[in-house]
Chains A and B, each alone.
Chain A
Amino acid sequence: DAKTTQPTSMDCAEGRAANLPCNHSTISGNEYVYWYRQIHSQGPQYIIHGLKNNETNEMASLIITEDRKSSTLILPHATLRDTAVYYCIVRVSRRDDKIIFGKGTRLHILP
């Protein structure tokens, strides 16, 4: 089973920052936090991952608490195309390691 807890759904106004929380209180020292999203039955899309430092790329920012028990994915200026299911995943960074998907957070971007 997934090692993370996420809200079932969230709404965010278009143009605003979307902040998606994730709890992973049992995370181990060698486990990373990954975020993927799935837009309406398309293949999951990698967003970002991190170990303990905050990370930023062209899609999003990842804020991990100091105790690593929770994190927040931030989409800085949400658009309608960001409407998707967002998955927070904890896994070791081993190249052949499977991804275990939970139910994720269904994010609705409102016009």
Chain B
Amino acid sequence: EPEVTQTPSHQVTQMGQEVILRCVPISNHLYFYWYRQILGQKVEFLVSFYNNEISEKSEIFDDQFSVERPDGSNFTLKIRSTKLEDSAMYFCASSERWEQYFGPGTRLTVT
């Protein structure tokens, strides 16, 4: 069964550094999303992406965040200058219709 994959599974970075989280959505899906979950808290929407542009973004998704689909298979989330409060699980999701399918997540730890 096709699935969303994410790399790396765990990323440790120092405050102020740039990180890129990578996702490979399900191949025939056209809609892509990033969510995050701070430890012990709810899953929060960050951004949705379709047709090479952002469809919607949340208040969390400020100028420090960007997304890109650099080729036909990858979907990336970049954080330009990480803060301690960016430490969280980041989930990528994709959809063809209405059900979103999530990847296993990348645990980002900012020290």
- In contact, A42 and B43 (Cβ under 8 angstroms): no
Q: Which residue of B lies closest to A100 (CB)?
A: B45
Return chain A residues, CB-CB under 8 Å to B37: 41
Return chain B residues, CB-CB under 8 Å to A99: 35, 43, 45, 100
- In contact, A101 and B42 (Cβ under 8 angstroms): yes
Is B62 an interface position by the 8 A CB rule?
no
Q: Which residue of A lies closest to B6 (CB)?
A: A43
Query: Known contacts being A41-B89, A102-B42, is A96 close to B50, with CB within 8 Å?
Result: yes
- In contact, B99 and A96 (Cβ under 8 angstroms): no
- In contact, B102 and A93 (Cβ under 8 angstroms): no
Is B17 an interface position by the 8 A CB rule?
no
Is A77 an interface position by the 8 A CB rule?
no
Please report B residues at the A interface, Cβ cutoff 8 Å.
4, 30-31, 33, 35, 37, 42-45, 48, 50, 55-56, 58, 89, 91, 93, 95-105
Please report A residues at the B interface, Cβ cutoff 8 Å.
32, 34, 38, 41-46, 49, 93-103
- Would you list the 10 A-B pairs with minimal beta carbon distance, nearest first? A43-B102, A101-B43, A98-B45, A93-B98, A96-B55, A46-B99, A43-B91, A44-B102, A96-B48, A96-B31
